[in-house]
């Protein structure tokens, strides 16, 4: 079923925006490096001095870590991601994070650092000036800082030395297949994607489960035409089915309500108990002036006031949409904390026709 038929019943999205092609993924890279050229904001750890000592020894200078002083260097962790289509000689971005007591990486230069994959092989080499996207300034009594100073980025700072070829076409029983994985698993959405692809290439797509669609490449599609085939089958728009879910984060008071959430016939009452506490200090003086019979004392006093707001009963006599529910709850002045309690009570009463997720 295509989006043209379902325009009035939901939002449509391109297939390429809601699926990932299995086999196309990045690979994390990491390495330990040294940033030099800092203006006294580097670290003072033995690790950074030992790393610099090793580098200088490779240049023929025999020094001990104790011979190196000052705060112009910083030991850092360098991370990057090797994309599925990054080839030898191409450049990728790297992130640089201090691992010592560095105050700022501003103005620093990363020395050549090999970046390894989880298999221990070197896939890229990083080097260049670190950009922290901010600044810091300090005087004797005050300082001012903009953005985080101990994490920086080097755009295009690593050169790929070894590529990781992405394999996304599977050979199964003599046929060639591409697997599409939904970013949000749903049987209805998966079936609509399968039908949309079959409208273009008959009997080429099949729904495996709620998050997977297998697409068979027609025999007439040559190896050089696979990119065009993928572009062709991921262009159509389909309706994305959103499950009925209410997500609540009690720590932050955040509530997210799905589009298809509805409330059955129920009555909602919301009341609040307001407790006000005020601390004051009263000074007690001796009764007789110039008398030694008493002393001046500071006596704390606590005033407590309790006020219960008037409750409102809001009847809901039919299933309502999320927008109607929002209007009803706003009418009683419900706060996010009140809404959390209301949704929990609705779920307990069986009136909330949705899945309740507590984060």
Position 303 pLDDT exceeds 70? no
What's the CA gap between 263 and 317, in Å, rounded? 9
Last residue of a domain, one of 97, 126, 160: 160
Position 229 pLDDT exceeds 60? yes
Question: Phi/psi of residue 239, each to 5°?
Answer: -80, 130
Q: How many domains does the chain have?
A: 3
Q: What is the chain's alpha carbon radius of gyration, rounded to the nearest angstrom? A: 32
Last residue of a domain, one of 100, 133, 160: 160
Taking 3-state DSSP, the helix, strand and coil percentages for the chain, each rounded to the nearest 5, stand at 20, 40, 40
Q: Mean pLDDT highest for which of 140-149, 183-192, 242-251, 326-335?
A: 183-192
Query: Please, what sign has the CA dihedral across residues 133, 26, 91, 75?
Result: positive
Tokens representing 132 are 């922290």
Return the beta strands (E) in 185-293 as ranges. Answer: 205-209, 212-216, 237-239, 245-249, 254-257, 262-263, 266-270, 273-284
Asked if 263 and 348 sit in the same domain, the reply is yes
Position 161 pLDDT exceeds 90? yes
Q: What is the mean pLDDT of residues 183-206?
A: 92
- Per the prediction, the chain carries an average pLDDT of 80
Last residue of a domain, one of 191, 220, 239: 239
Asked if 34 and 152 sit in the same domain, the reply is yes
Nearest-5° angle of CA 117, CA 25, CA 152?
Answer: 60
Asked if 34 and 103 sit in the same domain, the reply is yes
Asked if 174 and 199 sit in the same domain, the reply is yes
Position 63 pLDDT exceeds 60? yes
Position 187 pLDDT exceeds 80? yes
Tokens representing 6 are 């379902």
* Nearby residues of 68 by Cβ (< 8 Å), 6 or more positions away: 49, 52, 53
Q: Would you place residue 293 in the very low, low, confident or very high pLDDT band (cuts 50, 70, 90)?
A: low
Asked if 232 and 344 sit in the same domain, the reply is no
The string of pLDDT tens digits covering residues 233-257 is 999 999 888 788 888 887 777 888 8
pTM: 0.67
Position 306 pLDDT exceeds 50? no
Q: What is the mean pLDDT of residues 332-342?
A: 73
Q: Would you place residue 100 in the very low, low, confident or very high pLDDT band (cuts 50, 70, 90)?
A: confident
Position 115 pLDDT exceeds 60? yes
- What integer pLDDT is reported at residue 34 of this predicted model? 94
Position 322 pLDDT exceeds 70? no
Of the candidates 76, 65, 64, the residue with the CA atom closest to the CA atom of residue 37: 76
Asked if 233 and 108 sit in the same domain, the reply is no
Asked if 309 and 325 sit in the same domain, the reply is yes
Lowest mean pLDDT among 131-135, 193-197, 264-268: 264-268
Structural domain range at position 19:
3-23+167-239
């Amino acid at each position: 079923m295509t989006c043209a038929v379902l325009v009035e019943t939901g939002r449509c999205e391109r297939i390429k925006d809601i699926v990932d092609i299995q086999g196309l993924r990045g690979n994390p890279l990491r390495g330990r490096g040294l940033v030099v050229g800092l203006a006294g904001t580097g670290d003072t750890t033995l690790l950074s001095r030992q790393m610099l000592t090793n580098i200088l020894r490779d240049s023929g200078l025999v020094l001990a870590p104790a011979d190196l002083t000052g705060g112009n260097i910083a030991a850092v962790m360098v991370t990057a991601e090797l994309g599925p289509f990054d080839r030898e000689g191409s450049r990728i971005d790297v992130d640089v994070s201090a691992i010592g007591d560095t105050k700022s990486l501003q103005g620093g230069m990363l020395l050549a650092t090999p970046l390894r994959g989880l298999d221990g092989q070197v896939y890229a080499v990083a080097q260049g000036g670190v950009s922290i996207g901010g600044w810091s300034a300090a005087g004797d009594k005050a300082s001012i800082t903009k953005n985080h100073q101990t994490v920086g980025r080097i755009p295009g700072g690593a050169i790929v030395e070894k590529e990781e070829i992405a394999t996304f076409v599977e050979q199964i029983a003599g046929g060639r297949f591409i697997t599409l994985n939904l970013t949000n698993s749903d049987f209805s959405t998966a079936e609509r994607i399968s039908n949309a692809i079959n409208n273009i290439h008959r009997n080429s797509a099949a729904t495996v489960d709620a998050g997977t669609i297998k697409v068979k490449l027609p025999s007439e599609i040559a190896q050089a035409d696979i990119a065009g085939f993928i572009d062709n089958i991921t262009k159509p728009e389909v309706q994305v089915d959103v499950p009925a879910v209410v997500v609540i984060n009690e720590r932050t008071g955040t509530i997210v309500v799905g589009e298809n959430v509805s409330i059955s016939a129920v009555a909602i009452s919301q009341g609040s108990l307001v407790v006000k506490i005020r601390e004051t200090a009263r000074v007690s003086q001796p009764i007789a002036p110039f008398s030694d019979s008493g002393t001046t004392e500071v006596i704390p006093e606590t005033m407590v006031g309790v006020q219960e707001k008037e409750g409102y009963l809001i009847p809901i006599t039919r299933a309502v949409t999320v927008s109607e529910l929002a209007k009803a709850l706003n009418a009683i002045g419900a706060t996010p904390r009140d809404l959390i309690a209301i949704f929990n009570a609705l779920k307990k009463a069986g009136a909330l026709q949705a899945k309740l997720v507590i984060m």
